[in-house]
Amino acid sequence: MTNLGNGEHTETIKIEQTEVNKCSSCGGNTVFNPTSGKLACPFCGSERDIEVTRENTIENDFLQALEQEDHSWDDEKRVFKCESCGAETLLDKDKAADFCSFCGSSHIATSEHHAGIKPALVLPFQLTKDEAMEKFKLWMKKRYFAPSKLVQSYKLNKLSGAYIPYWTFDSKTDSSYVVQIGTYYYVTETRTVYEDGKPKQVTEQVRKIRWHTDQGRYSEFFDDVLVKASRNVASGLIDKIEPFHLNGLVDYKMAYLSGFLAERYSIPLKEGWGDAKGVIDYRIENGIRGQVHGDVVNIVSVSTDYDKITYKHILLPIWISSFHFKTKVYRFLVNGQTGKVSGKSPVSAVKVSFVVLLVIAIIGVIAFFVDFS
């Protein structure tokens, strides 16, 4: 991780920032172009390569990070907080936020919070804003019950490209467990049944379970367990546009965020590890079940040592639009890598009533002909 106390490093960042922001031909501010994967100048059209690297093999030590707060991203980013939904947005230091991408509110102010841990890896946008808009229009066309006014007037200008924060964790685990193993056996039982009021003896095979307790050890190394670091108002919709293909992750560079915003993680590192541990514990239980042989296996207890816990802060791309209709906010999300769509739209009471009445009328007509045929 970047050492903030290191003056030399701050210098490097400054140079990089100038290089990233300015077009070498006309001096305009360049933005990341998802189609070419280059930095493009919207003024003169010239493009510049970004050196794509995937060398980040450095895993950051988790326990060390808990002791010492990491603010390494502060030298690049400024934090804005939405006063309506609480989401925190990170922008380049020379930029200001005018509305919140997650709820559309314009009540947004600079936050006291640090930008925090600099991301290790980023999944660059592959879908352009125009492509995301096309997805939105297609999706809107299928909202048959959406009010006509909305279909005509949705505010596409509020479509923003946002990088959403995630944590990934690695850990070497060693568990000792106690299990109850059940083995099936069959006994022949005789019982009396009544046939036409007469008693009759029948024998049958009945399955029983013989239990014994066992214990053992289980070890597994977990690599890149992914958990969300965002609890913004659109979190539920983000689940629906997953998965992201993480083989597209590259080393974080400022250039990938040029023209885009990033959300500050609202789930702190420590809490993120709690979530990852839940995933890991579940996989350990499955691993133990695979290792123990029996017809039925009940896990009595598992005690795990989590060793060499390391983490990475990573960013994944989404296009998001929040639109107001009457008094409510509706959201629409597109996966910035795959184009998968998810959203909620208002429903027109008039349109729904019309369809209900139409269905009643059709049933009435069918009933009429059935009666008189």
Stretch that binds Zn ion, among 20-28, 263-271, 273-281, 310-318 (CB under 5 A): 20-28
Using the rule CB under 5 A, which residue among 10, 12, 26, 176 binds Zn ion? 26
Give the number of other Cβ atoms within 10 Å of residue 65's Cβ: 18
Give the number of other Cβ atoms within 10 Å of residue 67's Cβ: 7
Min dist CB 78 to Zn ion, Å, is 17
**Segment 69 to 128, residues that bind Zn ion, using CB under 5 A:** 82, 84-85, 87, 100, 102-103, 105
Nearer to Zn ion, 85 or 132 (CB): 85
Min dist CB 157 to Zn ion, Å, is 17
Nearer to Zn ion, 43 or 221 (CB): 43
Are 79 and 264 spatial neighbours (Cβ–Cβ below 8 Å)? Answer: yes
Nearer to Zn ion, 102 or 166 (CB): 102
Edge-to-edge strand list for the sheet holding 38-40 = 31-33, 38-40, 47-48
Nearer to Zn ion, 85 or 267 (CB): 85
Stretch that binds Zn ion, among 19-27, 253-261, 267-275, 301-309 (CB under 5 A): 19-27
Min dist CB 76 to Zn ion, Å, is 22
Stretch that binds Zn ion, among 9-17, 28-36, 277-285, 328-336 (CB under 5 A): 28-36
Provide the token pair at 156: 């596409």
Nearer to Zn ion, 26 or 363 (CB): 26
Nearer to Zn ion, 105 or 338 (CB): 105
Min dist CB 319 to Zn ion, Å, is 16
Min dist CB 29 to Zn ion, Å, is 9
Nearer to Zn ion, 82 or 159 (CB): 82
Min dist CB 345 to Zn ion, Å, is 19
**Segment 174 to 233, residues that bind Zn ion, using CB under 5 A:** none
Q: Using CA atoms in the order 138, 143, 144, 149, what is the torsion angle rounded to 10 degrees?
A: -90
Nearer to Zn ion, 23 or 250 (CB): 23
Q: How many chain residues bind Zn ion (CB under 5 A)?
A: 15
**159 makes contact with Zn ion (CB under 5 A):** no
Residues 6+ apart with CB under 8 A from 47: 33, 36, 38, 39, 40, 41
Min dist CB 209 to Zn ion, Å, is 55
| Mask for 305-324, x = binds Zn ion (CB under 5 A) | --------------------
Provide the token pair at 159: 């479509």
| Mask for 36-65, x = binds Zn ion (CB under 5 A) | -----x-xx---------------------
Nearer to Zn ion, 58 or 109 (CB): 109
Nearer to Zn ion, 175 or 258 (CB): 258
Residues at the site binding Zn ion, with contacts judged by CB under 5 A: 23, 25-26, 28, 41, 43-44, 82, 84-85, 87, 100, 102-103, 105
